[in-house]
Structure 1
């Protein structure tokens, strides 16, 4: 049994397969062929999938429930006030009980250690729907979006990340490097990428010839970039530190002046929700923005994860 914890746990080929499967299911979903949809709907008919969410969400909840329903299973949403997870019952006990009744658990939690605990004790696949260290479903979605808009299979691309060194950045950087996209990361002084992520990134670059740049200069990062990506500077749960965080990130807003250093046909991406401190309205709603196409692709990323880790039981060799 395999779990989806982070992109760095996957081989380059395995991650490419996930993106390709997301693309495959998007075509099926968009075509609306009743017979093809019914065929997929039978794959998990009669099964139940648990969605354990310690954090509220919009895109993650809709996409995971939609993916589960697409394959015929019943999604069971379990918010932080719905079950005893870590409250009046041990993490171990809850995991053993829930996993005995379902076919998969999507987990959107706070700490990475919680994902690790779930994976250690669950009898069914755990799919990480976000923790403080990783966000693999977002990475699948983002690379699908880049493939559609700029086709990394045919073009040498550079992605620039501007902002915090967070969970989204961790998986996105690794994902891009695995598929041949160079990465430049610009964070404010005092904020550095996690050492384990840097080590994993360097190992990939040595293997496949991609390049990673770490800098505190946002202009350096975005120069000649094909894709510019940012995320909210004040993450969920950090609202108490909003004033200090925004001060720390002064000068890192993605705006037209910063984007003028990128390639003329650059694309802008953001995992949402966004705030005007992260990116100006002109860029977010402008002609280069693909944020809403990116958001929709979260559905197909979740479908790919269910297909590979639940239907095919983590056996990548069994994928057509």
Structure 2
């Protein structure tokens, strides 16, 4: 039976631990120049409704290093862009490629694609979740702090798709998440309620200093996601009190790390002083997208 990865909760706690362990093994093998073509003759079809740097490069490089091949597919160059039903695209692609990764505008599109595909579908980003990013974040926290159980993460800023995946991930990791967002940009109440019912450790506050106090990890993201460019001035004014700067970092525990999934608008959501500091693990976080996604591809296709 084929498996999909549409949400961070599509894997169990044990599967997450195994996946992170495999990703660390693949990272070390890559460091010493070992590449095993375990996905030879496998092809990943990558549909990008939204532009990308890290998602495209990491999946394409990952498939190459595993001995497979990746196809970049712009909907404007496909019949999908001319009105073909997603279910029909799913059925056709299932006859051609080994798996599909989609970076979609709407989560419903990801679900529909997976429902009608006979091959694994990976959510490379949707308006609800960004599970591949959270895999990399979990790997990075585990590398730097040597555990996830009991780690306190302060999410500062927009309660967006990455924030949703982070909240849901606490069910698997044992982390505690305190989200500080302007009330109108807080994570959806239904998502928080759903997560709490399943055992998540999450609290939503308005004060960023409250969230940052005694945190092991300070995490943020851009205030302006793709498609929100017309709201730049309004959002910047609302979110400026939620900037991750030296003052906010001083509230965290000694040795706390700071994370940003990129792209960053420097000196908006995070200052140069912080993103370029010793506390920053942003570049490790970005690199780990490659390793966790390779481990995920092996799990789904190997």
TM value normalised by structure 1: 0.90
Q: Distance in 2 between matches of 1:283 and 1:150?
A: 19
CA drift of 1:63 comes to: 0.4
Q: Distance in 1 between matches of 2:184 and 2:104?
A: 26
Q: Does 1:124 align with 2:119?
A: yes
Q: Distance in 2 between matches of 1:166 and 1:159?
A: 15
CA deviation map 1:44-87 (0-9, x unaligned): 21222101111111110010001111221111110232212242
CA drift of 1:186 comes to: 0.6
Residue in 1 that maps onto 2:158: 164
Residue in 1 that maps onto 2:20: 19
Q: Does 1:147 align with 2:142?
A: yes
8 Å contact kept, 1:8–1:200 = no
Q: 1:203 to 1:10 in 2, by over 3 A?
A: farther
Q: 2:180 aligns with which of 158, 163, 186?
A: 186
CA drift of 1:99 comes to: 1.9
Residue in 2 that maps onto 1:317: none
CA drift of 1:299 comes to: 0.2
Q: 1:273 aligns with which of 251, 259, 263?
A: 263
Where in structure 1 do 4 or more consecutive aligned residues deviate above 3 Å? none
Q: Distance in 1 between matches of 2:126 and 2:101?
A: 11
Q: Distance in 2 between matches of 1:305 and 1:119?
A: 16
Paired residue secondary structure (2:226): coil
Q: Distance in 2 between matches of 1:197 and 1:178?
A: 16
Residue in 2 that maps onto 1:58: 53
Q: Does 1:302 align with 2:293?
A: yes
Paired residue secondary structure (1:50): strand
Q: Using the TM superposition, name which of 226-235 and 84-93 deviates more.
A: 84-93
CA drift of 1:204 comes to: 4.2
Paired residue secondary structure (2:251): coil
CA drift of 1:173 comes to: 2.3
Q: Does 1:244 align with 2:239?
A: no
Paired residue secondary structure (1:132): coil
Q: Distance in 2 between matches of 1:200 and 1:303?
A: 30
Q: Distance in 1 between matches of 2:172 and 2:154?
A: 15
Q: Does 1:48 align with 2:39?
A: no
Residue in 2 that maps onto 1:8: 9
8 Å contact kept, 1:19–1:144 = yes
Q: Distance in 1 between matches of 2:250 and 2:169?
A: 26
Paired residue secondary structure (1:249): helix
Q: 1:88 to 1:191 in 2, by over 3 A?
A: closer
Paired residue secondary structure (2:258): strand
8 Å contact kept, 1:225–1:262 = yes
TM value normalised by structure 2: 0.95
Note the aligned Cα RMSD (angstroms). 1.5
Q: Using the TM superposition, name which of 192-201 and 258-267 deviates more.
A: 192-201
Give the total of aligned pairs. 300
CA deviation map 1:138-191 (0-9, x unaligned): 0110010001101116x7321110011111111122224421211111111222
Residue in 2 that maps onto 1:28: 29
After superposition, residues 67-86 of structure 1 pair within 5 angstroms as 67-86=62-81
Q: Distance in 1 between matches of 2:12 and 2:88?
A: 32
Paired residue secondary structure (1:75): strand
